Amino acid sequence: VLVTVKLPCAARPAVLPIVLCSVLLFSSGLSISPDNDVSIGFPRYKVPPVSHELAQEIVRDAPPRSTIYAPIEIAKLITTFRMHPYPLLVRIEYSGFERTRSHFGDPELERRRRVIAILEGVDNKPSSAEFFQMQLANDRPTMVAYATEVAGASMIEASLIAAGYVGEKRGLYWLWRR
């Protein structure tokens, strides 16, 4: 038996705002959440223009199939272009997938995470400089990008200069080439 209820005319306009508020309040586990970089607000650029310009320059100038060191904000944009070089790591979350872990192995993924942590200013251990220099020698990335104000920028710069890279400031970022 199907029972239908007719809402009074005065209550009908309130239904839509109540449903929308309910979705916003209880959406923490849904796709509409800050954890998924989703926010409710006035329209804005979906991709930061400065980051997109740098990613576009890297894709345009890097040799095919070359390795790139870039913070996640830039690396995830590089992979949106059709023909792109290979960032060392695209998203930290992807490194936890079983298929990714079984392909690369935990030591390799940890090494990649640490390189990105250095570029993003999260890893400032005393051993970071030596570790970063060893990774530059092993991977021989064709380009390295990082934010100008990142913690450890002077150590990254010194390592890149010692490895023969030439840097140019690109807005909020430094871009280094071999």
Q: What is the pLDDT of residue 106?
A: 80
Q: What is the pLDDT of residues 116-162, one digit of tens each?
A: 999 999 998 999 999 999 999 999 999 999 999 999 999 999 999 99
- Find all residues with CB under 8 Å of 46, minimum gap 6, and list them: none
The pLDDT of residue 97 is above 70: no
Q: Are 113 and 93 in contact (CB under 8 A)?
A: no
pTM of the predicted model as reported, rounded to 2 decimal places: 0.72
Q: What is the pLDDT of residue 25?
A: 72
Q: What is the pLDDT of residues 112-128, one digit of tens each?
A: 999 999 999 999 899 99
DSSP secondary structure letters along 142-157:
SEEEEETT-TTHHHHH
